[in-house]
Chains A and B, each alone.
Chain A
Amino acid sequence: MAAPITLHLEFGGGAELLFDGVKDHQVTLPSQSQPWDMKQLLVWIRANMLKERPELFVQGDTVRPGILVLINDADWELMGELTYEIQDQDSVVFISTLHGG
C-alpha cells in the first residue's frame, strides 16, 4: 500500500473559474495499492473538485485541448503526460489558453 499523497494543485488562465474561482489547492490523495498517475489524478479531480461543466476541463481521459499542464513547473509533455507517476509534494498546474485575448 502506497501512503496518501499530498499535492499542490493550481488552476490559472481562466481554468480556476471551473473551481469556484479558487486558484490554489492543497489536496491529499487517498492511499491505494498502485502508485497514482496523472490519468487517475484527472479522474479524481473530476469526481472531487470540479464544480461545473466538467467537459470544459476533461475530454475523454485527458485534459481538454487548450489546457496546458505543468508538473513541477515543467511541461507535462516532457514528463510522460498521463503516465507520469505522481510523487508526494508534487506541484501540478493547469493553465487554460482558451480565455481572453
Chain B
Amino acid sequence: MPILCSSCEKKRAVLKRPKTGHSLCKECFFWAFEEEVHQTIISARLFNPGETVGIGASGGKDSTVLAHVLKVLNERYNYGLKLLLLSVDEGITGYRDDSLETVKRNEQQYALPLTIVSYEELYGWTMDAIVKQVGLKNNCTFCGVFRRQALDRGAMMLNVDKICTGHNADDVAETVLMNVLRGDIARLRRCTAISTASEGEGVVPRCKPLKYAYEKEIVLYAYFNKLDYFSTECVYSPNAYRGHARTFLKDLESVRPSAIMDVIHSGENLSVREGVRMPVQGTCSRCGYISSQALCKACVLLEGLNRGLPRLGIGKHHRLHGKILAKEPLTQEEERKLKAVDF
C-alpha cells in the first residue's frame, strides 16, 4: 500500500523527511525544501536587492543544489540578485578537470555565467605540482588555504558582493564536532555563523544558505530533480579526521535523525568564557589579505614552495616571517628543518 503525502494527501509519498518525520510527495518536498531555504535567507537577511552573488561551485551535490535553489527563489521571490557561478581549478588531474566539466554543463543548464580561477594562474602552482614537492601528507593544508583565498580573488575580480557556499547542516555539525575535539575555541565560535561580514580588505562576505538543510534532503532534491552533479572523491589523501567525524555523525543520525541539528544548536549556543584570548586580525604585509601574522598563510606556504622549503607553512614558524619579508637568508639549521619531506 503506497503511503500518501501528508501535505497534499493526494499523491504518493516519496520520502520521509529526517528533519520533521513528514512523508511527502515529490512536489510537496521540493516546495518545503525551497521554502525552508527561503526562510533561512529572509530571517538571516543574507542578501539585499541588487547585489551580485557568487555561488562557489564545485560541481558536487551541495553547490549544484544551491545554484538550482537560488535561481528558483531569486525568480519566485524577486530577490533582485545577479547570480553567477565561481569555480576554483586546483589543478588536480582526474578529479577537478572532470568536476569542472559538470560545472560547465551547469552553466548551460541554469543559464548562470561561470568564471573559473586557477591555482596555476594565481599562485604559479597546480596541486599536482605541489603534491610532487610536498607529498601526500600536508597537501590538504595547501589546498584549503589556497582555495579560500582563490574564491576571494575571483569574487573581487567580478565585483561580487557576497559569496555563498554549499555547506549543509551535516557539514556544519561535523565542523562543530571537529573544533570541539581539537579544542579550537576561536574556530568553534565562528563555525556556526551563517554569514561572515568582510573581515578586511580583499575578503568578500560569505554565507551558507543551506546551513539548516540535511544532506539526505539535498541528495534527494538533486536525485528527484535529476540534477547533474559530480561525486568522486579527491584523488589526493582525503581528510581522515573529518571522515571520522562524519562517520560518527552518520551513525548518530541513524539512531536519532535530529542529532545533526542538535550538534549545530549546541555549537550556536556555547558561550566562551571571558578572557579566552582570540587572535587579532591584521593584514598580510605582502599581499594585503587578512592575517593574524605578518604574512598570511597562503604567502608563507607559497614562499615555502618557491624556495623548496615545503615545511615553512606547516606548523608554527612565525618568527621566520620577519626574515622572509626582509628577504634575509635563513641559517643552515633553519633550512634543514624546513626541507625535510618526511613530514
Contact = CB atoms under 8 A, between A and B. Distances in A.
- Please determine whether chains A and B interact with each other in the same assembly: yes
Interface in A57-76: 64-66, 68, 70, 73-75
A29 interface: no
Contacts, number: 77
B246 A98 contact: yes
A75 B58 contact: no
Contacts of B229: 100
A17 interface: yes
B219 A77 contact: no
A66 B259 CA distance: 14
Interface string B50-92: 0000000011111100000000000000000000000000000
Interface in B234-256: 246-247, 250-251, 253-254
Interface string A33-62: 000000000000000000000000000000
Nearest to B234: A100
B60 A65 contact: no
B251 A65 contact: yes
A76 to B, nearest CB: 9
A12 B223 CA distance: 10
Contacts of A101: 58, 60-63, 166-167, 171
Interface residues of A, number: 22
B58 A100 contact: yes
Contact of B16 (A12, A13, A77): A77
A68 B216 contact: yes
Contact of B233 (A12, A77, A97, A100): A100
A18 B63 CA distance: 24
A93 B220 CA distance: 11
Interface string B7-33: 000001111100000010000000000
B215 interface: yes
A1 interface: no
A95 B63 CA distance: 17
A97 B215 contact: yes
B136 interface: no
A2 interface: no
B231 A78 contact: no
5 contacts: A74-B12, A75-B14, A78-B14, A78-B23, A100-B58
Given A100-B229, A100-B232, 14 more contacts: A13-B231, A64-B250, A66-B215, A68-B219, A74-B2, A74-B14, A74-B15, A75-B13, A75-B15, A78-B14, A100-B233, A101-B58, A101-B62, A101-B167
